[in-house]
């Protein structure tokens, strides 16, 4: 994991030397510091700059959590887990996972834009600070958290000189050939003074320079002050100034730019051009003309463009978005636009699910991650109306690839539970959506080790499938029950259910990543029953299909089984090569289940190659991952056999003391470093015998059977 997830600065940081020094001083004396101030005053930018400067103080780095797009307080802990790069498949409360992770670390957590969540966030921050002595929190919002020990730093607007510097710097960026002339210095200073030195207002004014001179801006600003300053009763003068500056910039937009500004307010978090064209386009604005309008808003700093792993994305500052939302309400178009937004992201989710079974899997993962705030907004809208619960069920189920394949089980469980509870009536005309949500819920619950919830959801799904004649839902139910039996060490039942599900899939013509995963799960079952030949044949077929389709996620699990079989034949080189590809894929998709199983098997291969010390290090590196996956779920019985045998071999070769030391070395490795170490492929140590052929196979088989018993 990178030491910091702070975004790169897109333009020059201007002024604030005294404030930065004061903020650094406060961070040295207090564990909780909150920068407060009105919208647009520069709280987020100052906090990010101070965090970047202070990063060297925190050996475990700095993590930024942007909370402005989040609307559901129940996802607060999940937002922090995401920012920390933590994945947890267990049923432990997310707050407990956070506290355990932070307890022994020295880390700076930056929380930004939480005004609407302050009450819920305050309790979480209090508990994390109490349980994590090395944790410091730097917060930026319009309101403080009001906790004991909190140092509050109110942020004032820029002084005149810094405001002028900011205007000049931004003007040079938007209009290099139209910089204010020296004789305009007085007018620029007056303009910045009229804008009260509010950075957002100054930047918006600089964005008008290609269209208006400084003198023209001053005259127009006079007009807007007379029109708007009295429009917000009870608002502080500077709040009225910001509103005036935004309103003035709004007034100077073309009618189409104002229309798109209002419509863009329905987006939460980043959005792409395709989404804007669909959501904001219409008879009054053809989609093929949206790009030019959006470019105009970017040029005026109303919308910001950024590069992301998913490609080019756009976003609006929360203050600017809120202004657009007021206009959308005034236009009486909010409900229609929210529904268009919802419809686009339901379509995007369906596209992602289809493309998941293709060479675009990595692109789909990045796209879904970038779209997550907007997908949440779409789910919330579906859940607001009881008669649209089926849409929430459909969307939550469609996103199974993100919940399961990209390490978001806890969030998936949250939405699936809510969607299923929102319409508990069976027998409606929307049975298909509900049945789909039920078997996906059962799948997620199985992977979380919640057997009771899994059985309840799958039992209801099976009954509903039989009642409605939905053979596909019945096949998925049988599949997930087989998966539950596999993880419960009931191999004969797992073999029977998984075989039956695969027959049903073939009869129905169903082929996708989940179907192939069922074939891999059947292969695992056969491995544990001692039928290696059948297991290898099943996984070779999966690998070939994945090769043809460009599918990588399921391919990784097939490689794991093939590597397991190669190890039992004493073919360590082949096993290492297979596991290397498997680990790289699992790490790319943040699939901790596949990753930890592969690393533990690689540890056993490494011990067999004659390097017990490195095997113990890899074994130790797997331990923190098991905490997130849930050791009792995948770590006992048949799945635990490689760990038990590696522990025996490496422990005997190294001795108890050195074995424990190597385990501790591996346990201290961050996940990224552990993966890099696993992929490095160290050479065997001379002089240590390597078990080969039948001896290796027999040792594992006997051990796995003893462990299972």
pTM: 0.80
Q: What pLDDT digit, counting tens, does each position of 639-666 carry?
A: 778 888 888 888 888 888 898 899 899 9
Residue 224, both tokens:
């807007």
Q: Which pLDDT does position 427 carry in this prediction? A: 55
The residue with greater pLDDT, 299 or 56, is 56
- Sequential DSSP letters for 44-55: HHHHHHHHHHHG
Q: Which of 40-54, 145-159, 224-238, 460-474 has the lowest mean pLDDT?
A: 224-238
Are 585 and 623 a contacting pair, CB within 8 Å?
A: no
What's the pLDDT score for residue 182? 67
Whether the CB-CB separation of 595 and 587 falls below 8 Å is answered with yes
106 class by beta-carbon count within 10 Å (0-12 exposed, 13-18 middle, 19+ buried)? middle
Average pLDDT over residues 502-530: 94
User: What's the whole-number mean pLDDT along residues 59-86?
Assistant: 87
What's residue 241's pLDDT? Answer: 58
Query: Of all helices (H) and strands (E), which one includes residue 66?
Result: strand 62-66
The answer, yes or no, to whether residue 230 has pLDDT greater than 50, is no
pLDDT at position 236 over 50 = no
Separation CA 475–CA 498 (nearest Å): 9
Q: Where are the domains of the chain?
A: 17-154, 160-252, 255-332, 345-560, 572-708
Q: Are strands 150-154 and 32-36 parallel, antiparallel or unpaired?
A: parallel
CATH for the stretch 17-154: 3.40.50.300
Look at residue 682 and tell me whether its pLDDT is greater than 60: no
Specify the fold of 345-560. Answer: 1.25.40
Confidence of residue 272 (pLDDT cuts 50, 70, 90): very high
Assigned CATH topology for domain 255-332? Arc Repressor Mutant, subunit A (1.10.10)
Judge whether 111 and 139 are in contact, CB under 8 Å.
yes
Q: What is the arithmetic mean of pLDDT over 163-178?
A: 77
Which tokens hold the place of 250?
């709004």
Tokens found for residue 256: 């189409």
Q: Name the pLDDT band for 693 (thresholds 50, 70, 90).
A: very low
| 670: DSSP letter | -
pLDDT at 405: 85
pLDDT above 60 (res 709): no
- Tell me: the pLDDT tens digits for 485-499? 998 888 999 999 999
Q: Which residue has the tokens 């969607």?
A: 419
Residue by residue, DSSP assigns 580-612 as HHHHHHHHHTT-HHHHHHHHHHHHHHHHHTT-H
pLDDT for residue 210: 73
- Nearest-angstrom CA–CA distance, 457 and 477: 9
- CA–CA separation, 321 and 337 (whole Å): 14
pLDDT at 703 over 80: no
Token pair for 459: 């039992």
Q: State the chain's mean pLDDT as an integer.
A: 84
What is the model's pLDDT at position 300?
Answer: 76
How many secondary structure helices (H) and strands (E) does the chain include? 34, 7
The mean pLDDT of 626-634, rounded to a whole number, is 68
Are 262 and 331 spatial neighbours (Cβ–Cβ below 8 Å)? yes
- Please state the rounded mean pLDDT for residues 247-266: 87
């Amino acid at each position: 994991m990178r030491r910091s997830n702070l975004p790169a600065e897109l333009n020059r940081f201007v002024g604030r030397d005294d404030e930065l020094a004061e903020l650094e001083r406060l961070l040295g004396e207090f564990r909780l510091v909150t920068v407060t101030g009105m919208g647009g005053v520069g709280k987020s930018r100052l906090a990010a700059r101070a965090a970047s400067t202070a990063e060297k103080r925190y050996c475990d780095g700095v993590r930024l959590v942007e909370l402005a797009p989040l609307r559901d307080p129940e996802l607060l802990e999940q937002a922090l887990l995401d920012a920390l790069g933590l994945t947890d498949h267990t049923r432990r409360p997310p707050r407990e996972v956070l506290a355990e992770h932070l307890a022994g670390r020295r880390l700076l957590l930056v929380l930004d834009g939480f005004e609407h969540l302050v009450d819920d966030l305050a309790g979480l921050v209090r508990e994390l600070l109490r349980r994590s002595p090395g944790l410091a929190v730097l917060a930026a919002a319009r309101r403080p958290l009001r906790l004991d020990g909190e140092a509050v730093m109110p942020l004032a607007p820029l002084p005149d000189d810094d405001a002028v510097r900011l205007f000049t710097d931004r003007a040079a960026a938007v209009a290099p050939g139209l910089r204010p002339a020296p004789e305009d210095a007085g007018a620029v200073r007056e303009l910045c003074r009229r804008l009260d030195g509010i950075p957002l207002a100054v930047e918006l004014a600089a964005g008008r320079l290609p269209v208006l001179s400084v003198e023209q801006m001053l005259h127009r600003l006079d007009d807007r002050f007379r029109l708007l300053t009295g429009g917000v009763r009870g608002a502080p003068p500077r709040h009225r100034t910001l509103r005036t500056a935004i309103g003035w910039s709004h007034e100077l937009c073309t009618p189409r730019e104002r229309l798109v500004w209002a419509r863009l307010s329905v987006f939460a978090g980043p959005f792409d051009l395709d989404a804007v064209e669909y959501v904001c386009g219409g008879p009054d604005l053809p989609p093929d003309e949206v790009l030019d309008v959006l470019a105009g808003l970017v040029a005026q700093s109303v919308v910001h463009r950024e590069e992301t792993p998913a490609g080019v994305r756009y976003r609006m500052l929360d203050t600017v978005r809120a202004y657009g939302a007021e206009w959308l309400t005034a236009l009486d178009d909010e409900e229609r636009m929210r529904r268009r937004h919802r419809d686009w992201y339901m379509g995007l989710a369906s596209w992602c699910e289809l493309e998941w079974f293709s060479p675009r899997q990595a692109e789909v993962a990045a796209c879904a991650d970038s779209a997550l705030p907007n997908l949440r907004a779409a789910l919330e809208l579906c859940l607001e109306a009881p008669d649209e619960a089926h849409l929430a069920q459909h969307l939550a189920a469609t996103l199974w690839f993100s919940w399961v394949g990209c390490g978001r089980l806890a969030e998936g469980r949250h939405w699936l539970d809510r969607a299923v509870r929102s319409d508990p009536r069976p027998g409606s005309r929307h049975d298909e959506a509900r049945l789909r949500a039920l078997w996906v819920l059962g799948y997620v619950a199985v992977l979380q080790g919640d057997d009771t919830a899994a059985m309840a959801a799958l039992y209801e799904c099976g009954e509903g499938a039989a009642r409605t004649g939905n053979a596909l839902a019945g096949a998925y139910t049988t599949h997930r029950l087989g998966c539950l039996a596999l993880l419960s060490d009931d191999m004969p039942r797992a073999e029977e259910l998984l075989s039956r599900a695969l027959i049903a899939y073939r009869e129905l013509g169903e082929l996708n990543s989940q179907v192939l995963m069922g074939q891999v799960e059947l292969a695992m079952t056969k491995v544990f029953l001692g039928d290696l030949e059948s297991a290898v044949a099943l996984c070779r077929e999966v690998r070939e299909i994945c090769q043809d389709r460009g599918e990588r996620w399921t391919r990784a699990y097939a490689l794991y089984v093939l590597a397991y079989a190669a190890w039992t034949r004493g073919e360590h080189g082949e096993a290492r090569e297979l596991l290397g590809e498997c680990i790289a894929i699992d790490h790319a998709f943040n699939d901790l289940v596949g990753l930890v199983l592969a690393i533990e098997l690689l540890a056993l291969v490494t011990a067999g190659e004659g390097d017990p010390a490195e095997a113990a290090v890899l074994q130790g590196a797997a331990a923190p991952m098991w905490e997130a996956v849930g050791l009792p779920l995948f770590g006992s019985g048949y799945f635990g056999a490689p760990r038990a045998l590696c522990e025996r071999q490496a422990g005997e070769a190294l001795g108890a003391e050195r074995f424990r030391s190597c385990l501790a070395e591996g346990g201290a490795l961050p996940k990224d470093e552990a993966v890099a170490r696993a992929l490095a492929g160290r050479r065997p140590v001379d002089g240590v015998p390597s078990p080969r052929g039948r001896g290796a196979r027999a040792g594992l088989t006997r051990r796995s059977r003893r462990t299972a018993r």
